[in-house]
Chains A and B, each alone.
Chain A
Amino acid sequence: MTSVTKEDSDQVAATRGRYDRLIKRDKVHGSLYTDPAIFAEELRNIWYRSWVFVGHESEVTQPGDYVRKRLGLQDVIMTRDRDRVLHLLLNRCAHRGNQVCNDARGNASAFRCPYHGWTYRNDGELVGFPFFKGYGQRKLDLNLGRVPRVDSYHGFVFGSFETEGPSLLDHLGAAAGEIDRLVQLSPEGRVALSAGWLQHQTRANWKLLAENETDGYHPQFVHGSIFGVTGSPIGSLYSDASTAVTRDLGNGHSENDLRPEFRKFAEPLRWFGTTESRVPDYAAAMRTKYGEAAERILIEGGPHVMVFPNLFIAEIQVFNIQPVAVGECVQYSTAVQLAGADELNRRMVSQCVGSVGPAGMLLADDTEMYERNQAGLGSLTPEWLDVRRGLNREAVDDNGFTVGRATDETGMRGFWRQYKSLMEAP
């Protein structure tokens, strides 16, 4: 928006007033999850502006590799060109709008539109079109659309439709340190997301998922069935007595920091439900790589962090949340694979398959809650959702972050502060 007319500024003021009315410190309005007009504004102000997680570089390792992705409602082709540069191209022919890529993944130096044969290199440039005399020239300045800014952090690829704005590192802020913690679990300091993605259709607004990811209040209730059957110690991490904390990391990011609990036990790999003696090669490789620090890394385990708006890293698995409509989204989930840790990687796939996706013994129940929540929000009263839990006992930690107890809604409040600031931005 270069010039602001009276009409524009009235609209901005109305929008600002609206989100002030809908988002309070201790409650948020139900229409935020059900109003199609708000969803349309979210696409514009969040999904097509802010940095959004798209995929991982390990999904396109070779020149010519490509994989179809979603970014908001956009059908995006993540490609690696012959110079190994990553691109996020929009799957729409510049001629008539047909889809130029129709396979989920593959390797190709070019995409040829099936409708009239227009052909684009995998960096998006139009390289040819049949019967050029009809255009009076051999070259046309018509290329595939693209996500203008693409950047990655430890291979996690993000895109932003805004040509200028905060850098990815600015956006990640303190959440970058959590991705560092994940990568540190590899004796080579690298992770891959190479096990394929489950796709879980969810009839609920995407924000119910984003809020839930660091909600430490629900696990004992929603997941009591599986914790009880397996004797899992996860439930106690989120008990009323837990020493774990919920941290608002700023920029809408939040974490359940479980390290205080794991430090109490001081047992390497307890976070993974195993012991050093069961994965001796991995433990040895970690000690070689990290020296004295290895003990701490092995005790503390992986992060449990929600990166605004759509990347959730839950210790050994990664989720990508993408909206479909105001009341529908898709959760993509996969197991983390640690470079140099073959001994762990199969266990990670196995544990992850047991937990996540449409039949997962954890996530299917979360998803049932999301969908019932969405249905419940159709009720006329009470109009609000309450997010006050822990406001009475929040503190600020040594790094200036707001911290609540394990079961507090500190993360949700951080989410809503960022959401409001993006939705009110001109």
Chain B
Amino acid sequence: MTAAVETDAGLGPVPDAFNRHAVEQFLYREARLADEGDYDAWEALWTDDALYWVPIDGEGGDPQQQMSVIYDNRRRISTRLNQLRTGKRYAQAPPSNLRRLLSNIEFLGGRDNPEGGVDLEVGANFLAIESRARGTRLWGGRNTYRIRHGESGLRLAFKKVVLVDNDQPLPTLGFVI
């Protein structure tokens, strides 16, 4: 699992099988589903070997030995969303109003996946505006995604969110970032 989160080692050439327009549309859709709290559709994007990681202190250390804001495997993504679905996850009930921008989308390379194929690794910058009773806040940073061809279209195998201020105290992060 440690190997799976490495960001430089194991990165091969950009695989041919990904269409830039389709990938961008996929990332925009992922962002919109998260903004709108469409948890069912957002959850359906993920592969079974999913990793969803929000580290602290820059790129973060080994997430199995160091604290992270979020380090969810597929099962814990499900738990997190199920908690949100109860409507009593107070950190997100009432829900935040959200809109995020994605930019600087770069195809970074390819990475072997456990299904014998090659995932596309993509980087992008993001800026999210969150409004809730506590106030309005900007969240910004760099996302790294790993995208795979599934039977019914593109799927998300990995998402790492490096917040620009992840070395500072952060307020409650109740929404799906």
Q: CB within 8 Å of B: which residues of A?
A: 104, 195-203, 222, 224-226, 228-230, 330, 333-335, 345-346, 349-350, 352-354, 357-359, 361, 364-365, 367-369, 371-372, 375
Complex Cα distance, B82 from A202, in Å, reads 25
Question: Given A345-B65, A358-B171, A358-B173, list of 17 further CB < 8 A pairs?
Answer: A104-B57, A195-B65, A196-B61, A197-B67, A199-B168, A199-B169, A202-B171, A203-B134, A203-B171, A224-B88, A226-B79, A354-B72, A357-B69, A361-B89, A367-B172, A368-B174, A371-B134
Taking a contact as CB atoms under 8 Å apart, the answer to whether B91 and A349 are in contact is no
Taking a contact as CB atoms under 8 Å apart, the answer to whether A229 and B86 are in contact is yes
In the complex, chain B residues whose CB is within 8 Å of the CB of A333? 67
Is there a chain A Cβ closer than 8 Å to B54's Cβ? yes
In the complex, chain A residues whose CB is within 8 Å of the CB of B167? 104
**Which chain A residue lies CB-closest to B57?**
A196
Is there a chain A Cβ closer than 8 Å to B170's Cβ? yes
Mask: chain B, 73-91; 1 = CB below 8 Å from A; 0 = not? 0001001101100101111
In the complex, chain A residues whose CB is within 8 Å of the CB of B79? 226, 229-230, 354, 361
In the complex, chain B residues whose CB is within 8 Å of the CB of A350? 64, 71
A373 to chain B, nearest CB (A): 12
Taking a contact as CB atoms under 8 Å apart, the answer to whether B67 and A225 are in contact is no
Is there a chain A Cβ closer than 8 Å to B125's Cβ? no
A367 to chain B, nearest CB (A): 5
Complex Cα distance, B64 from A229, in Å, reads 24
Taking a contact as CB atoms under 8 Å apart, the answer to whether A200 and B169 are in contact is yes
Given contacts A196-B56, A198-B56, A201-B170, contact A368 B69 (CB under 8 A): no
Partner of B88, one of A201, A225, A330, A369: A225
25 A-B Cβ contacts within 8 A? A195-B65, A195-B67, A199-B56, A199-B168, A199-B169, A200-B170, A202-B171, A225-B83, A225-B86, A225-B89, A226-B83, A229-B82, A350-B71, A353-B71, A354-B76, A358-B170, A358-B172, A359-B69, A361-B79, A361-B83, A365-B89, A368-B91, A368-B174, A369-B90, A371-B134
Partner of B68, one of A224, A353, A364: A353
A218 to chain B, nearest CB (A): 11
B101 to chain A, nearest CB (A): 21
In the complex, chain A residues whose CB is within 8 Å of the CB of B168? 199
In the complex, chain B residues whose CB is within 8 Å of the CB of A354? 72, 76, 79
In the complex, chain A residues whose CB is within 8 Å of the CB of B63? 353
Interface on chain B toward A: helix, strand, loop, or mixed SS?
loop
Counted as pairs of residues, one from A and one from B, with CB atoms less than 8 Å apart, the total is: 103
Taking a contact as CB atoms under 8 Å apart, the answer to whether B83 and A229 are in contact is yes
Q: CB within 8 Å of A: which residues of B?
A: 54, 56-57, 61, 63-72, 76, 79-80, 82-83, 86, 88-91, 133-134, 167-174
Complex Cα distance, B61 from A379, in Å, reads 44
Taking a contact as CB atoms under 8 Å apart, the answer to whether A196 and B71 are in contact is no
In the complex, chain A residues whose CB is within 8 Å of the CB of B170? 199-201, 358
A212 to chain B, nearest CB (A): 14
Complex Cα distance, B119 from A391, in Å, reads 62
Taking a contact as CB atoms under 8 Å apart, the answer to whether B64 and A346 are in contact is yes
In the complex, chain B residues whose CB is within 8 Å of the CB of A202? 171
In the complex, chain A residues whose CB is within 8 Å of the CB of B174? 359, 364, 368
In the complex, chain A residues whose CB is within 8 Å of the CB of B90? 222, 225, 365, 368-369
B24 to chain A, nearest CB (A): 27
Complex Cα distance, B65 from A359, in Å, reads 18
Given contacts A358-B69, A359-B70, A359-B174, contact A228 B86 (CB under 8 A): yes
B177 to chain A, nearest CB (A): 8
Taking a contact as CB atoms under 8 Å apart, the answer to whether B66 and A195 are in contact is yes
A233 to chain B, nearest CB (A): 16
Query: Nearest 8 CB-CB pairs, A to B?
Result: A364-B91, A201-B169, A199-B169, A225-B88, A225-B86, A358-B173, A229-B82, A368-B90
Partner of A365, one of B64, B67, B91, B133: B91
**Which chain A residue lies CB-closest to B76?**
A354
Complex Cα distance, B6 from A104, in Å, reads 24
Given contacts A203-B134, A229-B79, A368-B91, contact A334 B173 (CB under 8 A): no
**Which chain B residue lies CB-closest to A371?**
B134
Complex Cα distance, B79 from A132, in Å, reads 64
Given contacts A200-B169, A225-B88, A364-B91, contact A359 B54 (CB under 8 A): yes
Taking a contact as CB atoms under 8 Å apart, the answer to whether A357 and B67 are in contact is yes
B174 to chain A, nearest CB (A): 6
Complex Cα distance, B70 from A202, in Å, reads 18
Q: Which of B69, B88, B169, B171 has the most CB of A within 10 A?
A: B169
Complex Cα distance, B57 from A197, in Å, reads 10
In the complex, chain B residues whose CB is within 8 Å of the CB of A224? 86, 88
In the complex, chain A residues whose CB is within 8 Å of the CB of B133? 372, 375
Complex Cα distance, B35 from A369, in Å, reads 23
Partner of B67, one of A334, A346, A361, A368: A334
In the complex, chain A residues whose CB is within 8 Å of the CB of B71? 350, 353
In the complex, chain A residues whose CB is within 8 Å of the CB of B57? 104, 196
**Which chain A residue lies CB-closest to B91?**
A364
Complex Cα distance, B61 from A372, in Å, reads 34
In the complex, chain B residues whose CB is within 8 Å of the CB of A104? 57, 167
Complex Cα distance, B175 from A364, in Å, reads 11
Q: Which of A196, A369, A375 has the most CB of B within 10 A?
A: A196
A46 to chain B, nearest CB (A): 21
Taking a contact as CB atoms under 8 Å apart, the answer to whether B65 and A349 are in contact is yes
**Which chain B residue lies CB-closest to A331?**
B169
